[in-house]
Chain A
Amino acid sequence: MQQYIAQRLLLMIPTLFGVALFIFLLMRVLPGDIVEIRFTSEGGFVSEEMIQIERARLGLDQPLPVQFIKWMYGLIGQPSVDAQFPFIHLQAPDLGVSMWTGRPITEEIAIRFQLSLQVAIMGTLLSILIAIPLGTLAAMYQDTWIDYSVRIFSVGGLAIPSFWLGILIILFLLNTFNWIPPFIFTPIWEDPGKNLTQLIWPTLAIGYSYSAIATRMMRSSMLEVLRDDYVRTARAKGLLEHVTVVRHVLPNAMLPVITVVGLEFAFLLGGLVVTEQVFNLNGIGKLFVEAINHRDYTLTQALVLLVAVTFIFVNFVVDLLYAAFDPRIKYE
């Protein structure tokens, strides 16, 4: 197991390196000079000299390999002085400085990460809370009206994009209560009530959309397990149906759903880009759109990398969880 974990962690390195290289090249090699685009979009006359100065300030006058190595160097962190643990860097990686605001990117992200993370976690939990009971019911009462209603509900989740559901929620709140959720973020430990009145709505929008695939998965995996031999045995020895389902079917049927939900969590960070826009939430997603609008290449680069790292890491954790929940799976 330990060997497997080590192997997986090592395999992440080339993928992450590839991701970093891809993003870096995408931002630099494609036509259009960052500085020129930024100056012309601001309007007014700009002299060649000013462009050169700005390029030098941002370090864009250096050869590409030098720029890339510098970026990587900051990411990995300065070589540790601590000789005993040369591989452990507790200091946050240096992501550079935002081209637009001039503030350190780590700082820009840190302020907003809290909000996005909370919505992502709550959205994932909500989608589990919807998917597991509904999927179970649909499978237990297959081809009855219960099953059909659940399936229609979950197809709806697929077809209604979370940003449209968000707009509908806002329309509903406005027209029924003449109220819209507050725009200012309050951390949950400061005032949970205030925090939830703001974040419960995007959670609803996202949770419903993301429950769709998980519900379908839960239903089909329940149907499969319900036909297994050990379930027949459990029934044959006279166990009550709900005991059979809770003890024998559910734990096994939930396994594939873990994978789906885990992947969704990683996707949520991406899905937030649009949903945060609807609710005017100042999170990672909004920062991302702002970064692109301002042509803030360093910030865009850092955010894409952050999402990719989360994505790869969550995949890895899901694989491990899978092994932890299913004794039949052994990673050697």
Chain B
Amino acid sequence: MNDTSAWSTLKHLLLEKPLGAIGFYLIVLMILSALLANFISPYNPLKTNFGNALQGPNFFHWMGTDTFGRDIFSRLLHGAQTAMLIGFSTSLLGSILGALLGVMGAYFGGKVDLILQRVLDVFMAFPIIIMALAVVAAMGTGTFNLIIAIAIPIIPRVARVVRSSALAVRQTTYVEAATALGSSHSRVILRHMMPNVMAPFLIMITAQLGQAIVLEASLNFIGLGVAEPTPAWGLMLRSAIDFAESAPWMGIFPGLAISIAVFAFNVFGDSLRDVLDPKLG
């Protein structure tokens, strides 16, 4: 897939799929607010001001303030940084590793494939969050560990889907030609097979993004993700429970942010799948 076809796919999606287009613009909006958070947020997300604690939404604090008097709107914008950073890095990392394993299984076939499949079976025997929790349990919390913990359960799921496409690519004449010309294994895999499983690869990346964001929020919510005072949506919800009565806005806005993010990635992913691979619909 070269630049022009990627561009035309996107243009097609934006024109033909209104829901997917909404998702796309929401994603762009979230990426922009993550990138520009430092410039556009009205307050410092980390600055505590106990005189201002637990204010309801008002003219100065659109979404109110939390128990430490921090501005919730500013924290949401900075929380987008955490969500986008972790969402994109985990789904990219997990999908790239998964795609490599899937293509390798399809390319080598035989025993290599069989062993890979069995190992992936083992990894698929865990619900995603349990797998992530097991990794957190072993490695500890923190942003880097969180990325690893979310990326690992993505690997086998992507590997499965990519492998089935790669099996067909393996049979094509250009792979045969490349092999006949004496290309090395890594050259055939990286230069000839990987580019041709781009469609399922992209579909899987977007499909995993929404899930990665929910997972990130869940782990933060149960206190096994990034640490306070880092602004993260799940972490903001965690502290909201105790103030459900006196400050309901603390639990409403971060949750809305998560929902909008997941909604955007889901509808964009669905539309992308429809456009790239109508058979999978």
Contact = CB atoms under 8 A, between A and B. Distances in A.
A170 B118 CA distance: 43
Contacts of B259: 159-161, 164
B125 A155 contact: no
A274 B223 CA distance: 10
B232 to A, nearest CB: 14
A271 interface: yes
A16 B217 CA distance: 30
B18 to A, nearest CB: 12
Given A155-B263, A312-B125, A288 B133 contact: yes
A307 B248 contact: no
A27 interface: yes
B126 interface: yes
Nearest to A271: B129
Nearest to B267: A155
B130 A307 contact: yes
Interface in B103-147: 118-119, 121-123, 125-130, 133-140
A308 B223 CA distance: 23
B63 to A, nearest CB: 15
B29 interface: no
A292 B248 contact: no
Contacts of A297: 137
B255 interface: yes
Interface residues of A, number: 46
Interface residues of B: mostly helix, strand, loop or mixed?
A: helix
B255 A164 contact: yes
B86 interface: no
Contacts of B251: 164, 167-168, 171
Nearest to B211: A158
Contact of B221 (A19, A175, A277, A292): A277
B127 A267 contact: yes
Interface string A1-40: 0000000000000111011001100110010100000000
Interface in B185-231: 210, 214, 217-218, 221-224
Contacts of B33: none
Contacts of B214: 161
A319 to B, nearest CB: 14
B181 to A, nearest CB: 38
B54 to A, nearest CB: 15
B3 interface: no
Interface in B220-262: 221-224, 237, 240-241, 244-245, 248, 251-252, 255, 258-260, 262
A182 B217 CA distance: 26
Interface of B: 118-119, 121-123, 125-130, 133-140, 210, 214, 217-218, 221-224, 237, 240-241, 244-245, 248, 251-252, 255, 258-260, 262-263, 266-267
